[in-house]
Chains A and B, each alone.
With several copies, the nearest count.
Chain A
């Protein structure tokens, strides 16, 4: 399903963030992406929904080359990929409800369907009662959960989670990871970049380790540390 082929990413300032990355992820897999701070995890994830483009090499999703994708097609690619951003990226002038609903609105869902799905997903992340608050009125962990809610609200076939539990306490983290597992079980490919050793070691899945822009380990049912 997702194929990363010999990808190299050099940022405009000359920094080589990824080099010679090859990765193949099948439909419905659950993959942990681990590695030190600055290893290149976010860079890799960002290229999967074309927020960044590889300097060389290419990425294929469902055999479609991302480098060949017309700008007009990009929004549709992004709708099929739910992203939990490391820095949340919530719209500051929209309420929690509107932020989550936005992902459905762009797809022209009906108002009633939007209401149903949004309330449902806000319940899942435990934030129904903050529905009408603005992001600035939320705690760090609450913002992160809104971002999670927005990423999963339209049941995308692919879910990219960049450090989804960084601001969450262990109990909530555990619940969120269970949620992601459940989503994965419902036919969704899930890739989670994380530093949460406890969770990687507990909920055992495929582990891909990145170091200095290269994949140095790729293990089924791996541990956080080799």
Chain B
């Protein structure tokens, strides 16, 4: 087994070396298509990150009746925090709210016109799932102490709809892209195999079995898939971190994906796609060519 594997690997290496320009071209093509694939993955990761970011900024304001006492307020806070889909509950004292309001609207000459703080005490509730915002708001309205609820309704619905549809579009695009990458890689390998069709026929005529012919091609496919994947990853790692650096420098508020887990998953995915398509392409192409000669 191991001897066979070594033998086939050395055959594959010889073949790669001797096919020269053809191999360089196919590795280049695979690299390039994996880079495009990776760029797409990075873009879609960033778009979903962005919509998550916007969703996370959505909040519900719960305005309390002026009669609500401090211990009631504390109890409410605990109850709200215990609700599913609620991520954060923050109490906003009416004085703080009024100060904030006045800071935001300096043009309104409130001091001269308004005698007292017109704002109520409130809770700011941040959800973990923005899609639930409307239903939770309705639910909150039912509480005794609650005077009114403000739920950023329209915007929330829009962001939710947008994030749902970009997610669907993203899935469709990534599938399409995966398929495109598959086709390009498999086709490229197919062309290199077709170019060696005569050699395959000769091998069959002098007594080689299907697997004897197939294995070196499969290992070759594996190797050029790995090479293409590694080159693509190198390009993407440097390209993306350069991009992130420049972007952060100039628009630091923008939420880019740069946690290592997501990125490493993407890079791993690229490597897997490269190698598996290399193997699959080689398997498919050789099988087609080999069949006719027995």
Contact among A79, A89, A93 for B207, CB-based, below 8 A:
A79
Which has the most chain B C-beta neighbours within 10 Å: A49, A71, A90, A107? A71
Write out the residue numbers on chain B whose beta carbons fall within 8 Å of the beta carbon of A74: 294
The A/B interface has a contact count, at CB < 8 Å, of 51
Indicate if A122 sits at the interface (CB-CB under 8 A).
no
Indicate if A78 sits at the interface (CB-CB under 8 A).
yes
Indicate if A75 sits at the interface (CB-CB under 8 A).
yes
What sequence of 0s and 1s flags, for each residue 186-216 of chain B, a beta carbon within 8 Å of any chain A beta carbon?
Answer: 0000000000000100111111111010000
Chain A residues 20-68 with CB under 8 Å of chain B are 49-51
Question: Are A75 and B209 interface neighbours, CB within 8 A?
Answer: yes
Indicate if A17 sits at the interface (CB-CB under 8 A).
no
Beyond A71-B294, A106-B212, whether A83 also contacts B19 by CB under 8 A is: no
Write out the residue numbers on chain A whose beta carbons fall within 8 Å of the beta carbon of B293: 51
Contact among B15, B19, B207 for A103, CB-based, below 8 A:
B207
Tell me, in angstroms, the Cα distance from A92 to B294 when the chains sit together: 22
Tell me, in angstroms, the Cα distance from A107 to B207 when the chains sit together: 8
Which chain A residue shows the least CB distance to B199?
A91
Write out the residue numbers on chain A whose beta carbons fall within 8 Å of the beta carbon of B202: 89-91
How many interface residues does chain B have, given as a range? 10 to 19
Chain A residues 80-103 with CB under 8 Å of chain B are 83, 85, 89-93, 102-103
Distance from A8 Cβ to chain B, minimum over Cβ atoms (Å): 21
Tell me, in angstroms, the Cα distance from A41 to B19 when the chains sit together: 30
Write out the residue numbers on chain A whose beta carbons fall within 8 Å of the beta carbon of B294: 50, 71-72, 74-75
Distance from B150 Cβ to chain A, minimum over Cβ atoms (Å): 75
Question: Are B205 and A93 interface neighbours, CB within 8 A?
Answer: no
Chain A residues 136-183 with CB under 8 Å of chain B are 150
Indicate if A11 sits at the interface (CB-CB under 8 A).
no
Tell me, in angstroms, the Cα distance from A55 to B203 when the chains sit together: 25
Tell me, in angstroms, the Cα distance from A77 to B209 when the chains sit together: 11
Contact among B15, B204, B208, B209 for A93, CB-based, below 8 A:
B15
Write out the residue numbers on chain B whose beta carbons fall within 8 Å of the beta carbon of A72: 209-210, 294
Write out the residue numbers on chain A whose beta carbons fall within 8 Å of the beta carbon of B206: 78, 83, 89, 102-103, 106, 150
Chain B residues 21-68 with CB under 8 Å of chain A are none
| Number of residues on chain A facing chain B (CB within 8 A) | 23
Distance from B3 Cβ to chain A, minimum over Cβ atoms (Å): 9
Write out the residue numbers on chain B whose beta carbons fall within 8 Å of the beta carbon of A102: 203, 206, 208
The binding surface of chain B is classed by DSSP as helix
Beyond A74-B294, A75-B209, A106-B212, whether A92 also contacts B204 by CB under 8 A is: no
Distance from B220 Cβ to chain A, minimum over Cβ atoms (Å): 12
Tell me, in angstroms, the Cα distance from A91 to B208 when the chains sit together: 13
Question: Are A51 and B207 interface neighbours, CB within 8 A?
Answer: no
Tell me, in angstroms, the Cα distance from A51 to B206 when the chains sit together: 10
Indicate if B18 sits at the interface (CB-CB under 8 A).
yes
Question: Are B199 and A75 interface neighbours, CB within 8 A?
Answer: no
Distance from A87 Cβ to chain B, minimum over Cβ atoms (Å): 10
Tell me, in angstroms, the Cα distance from A74 to B208 when the chains sit together: 9
Tell me, in angstroms, the Cα distance from A74 to B290 when the chains sit together: 12
Tell me, in angstroms, the Cα distance from A83 to B206 when the chains sit together: 8
Write out the residue numbers on chain A whose beta carbons fall within 8 Å of the beta carbon of B199: 91-93
Question: Are B209 and A106 interface neighbours, CB within 8 A?
Answer: yes
Write out the residue numbers on chain B whose beta carbons fall within 8 Å of the beta carbon of A79: 207
Distance from B213 Cβ to chain A, minimum over Cβ atoms (Å): 9
Beyond A91-B199, A92-B199, A93-B199, whether A75 also contacts B19 by CB under 8 A is: no
Tell me, in angstroms, the Cα distance from A85 to B201 when the chains sit together: 13
Distance from A148 Cβ to chain B, minimum over Cβ atoms (Å): 13
Write out the residue numbers on chain A whose beta carbons fall within 8 Å of the beta carbon of B207: 75-76, 78-79, 103, 106-107
Distance from B219 Cβ to chain A, minimum over Cβ atoms (Å): 15
Which chain B residue shows the least CB distance to A82?
B206
Which chain A residue shows the least CB distance to B17?
A93
Which chain A residue shows the least CB distance to B201?
A89
Question: Are B205 and A49 interface neighbours, CB within 8 A?
Answer: yes
Question: Are A51 and B203 interface neighbours, CB within 8 A?
Answer: no
Question: Are B208 and A75 interface neighbours, CB within 8 A?
Answer: yes
What sequence of 0s and 1s flags, for each residue 218-243 of chain B, a beta carbon within 8 Å of any chain A beta carbon?
Answer: 00000000000000000000000000
Tell me, in angstroms, the Cα distance from A150 to B203 when the chains sit together: 12
Which chain B residue shows the least CB distance to A110?
B3
- Of all A-B residue pairs in the complex, the 5 with the closest CB atoms, nearest first, are A71-B294, A79-B207, A78-B207, A74-B294, A93-B18
For this complex, 11 residue pairs linking A to B, each with C-beta atoms less than 8 Å apart, are A50-B294, A72-B294, A75-B204, A85-B205, A89-B205, A91-B202, A91-B203, A93-B19, A102-B206, A102-B208, A150-B206
Interface residues of B, Cβ cutoff 8 Å to A: 7, 15, 18-19, 199, 202-210, 212, 293-294
